[in-house]
Structure 1
Amino acid sequence: MDQEQITDPERMKALAHPARMEVFDYLGTRRIQGFDGATATEIAEVAGMTPSAMSYHLRTLAKAGFIEEAPSRGDARERVWRLKVHSFSIKAEKDASESDKVVEQAMVRTFTDQEDRTFRRALEVMHQLDPEIRELSTTSHGRMRLKPEEIEEFKDRLLALIHEYAERSIAYAEEGAPDDGTLVMHYLFRLFPHVHD
Structure 2
Amino acid sequence: MSEESVEHRPLVISDPQVMRALAHPARVEIMDHLNSTDSAITATECAEIVGLSPSATSYHLRELARFGLVEQAPSRGDARERLWRSKARSFGVEAGPDSSQEARAAQETLIEVYAARDYQRIREWARRLGDESKEWYDATTYGGSVLMLTAEELTTLNEAVRELMRPYRRSDRTRPPEGARAVVVHYAAMPMD
Check whether TM > 0.5. Answer: yes
1:149 aligns with 2:152: yes
* Residue correspondences, number: 186
**Residues of 1 paired with 2:71 and 2:46: CA distance?**
14
Which ranges in structure 1 are unaligned for 5 or more consecutive residues? none
Superposition pairs for residues 118-133 of structure 1, below 5 Å?
118-133=121-136
Map Cα deviations across residues 56-97 of structure 1 (whole Å, 9 max, x no partner).
Answer: 110011122221222323322221222222212222044212
Identify unmatched segments of 5+ residues in structure 2.
1-7
The one-letter code matched in structure 1 to 2:16 is P
Secondary structure of the 2:154 match is: helix
How much has 1:108 moved relative to structure 2?
A: 0.9
Q: Which residue of 2 aligns with 1:63?
A: 66
Q: Distance in 2 between matches of 1:92 and 1:50?
A: 33
Give CA-to-partner distance per residue, 1:142-170, whole Å, 9 cap, x none: 1001223222222222222223433xx24
Q: CA RMSD in A?
A: 2.2
Equivalent position of 2:188 in the other structure = 190
Distance 1:179 1:110, change over 3 A: same
Letter in 2 for 1:43: C
Offset at residue 20 of structure 1 (A): 0.4
Asked whether the 8 Å contact 1:7–1:93 carries over to 2, the reply is: no
* Structure-1-length-normalised TM-score: 0.82
Could you list the per-position Cα deviations for residues 35-57 of structure 1 after superposition, in whole angstroms to 9, with x for gaps in the alignment?
x2322122223323222121111
Instruction: Determine if the alignment matches structure 1 residue 110 to structure 2 residue 117.
Output: no
* Change in 2 beyond 3 A, CA 1:38/1:60: same
State the identity %.
33
Cα separation, 1, equivalents of 2:152 and 2:75: 48
Match in the other structure for 1:162: 165
Assess, with a 3 A threshold, how the Cα gap between structure 1 residues 123 and 70 changes in structure 2: closer, same or farther: farther
Match of 1:37 in 2: 40
TM-score (norm 2): 0.84
Q: Does 1:18 align with 2:25?
A: yes
Aligned to 1:136: 139
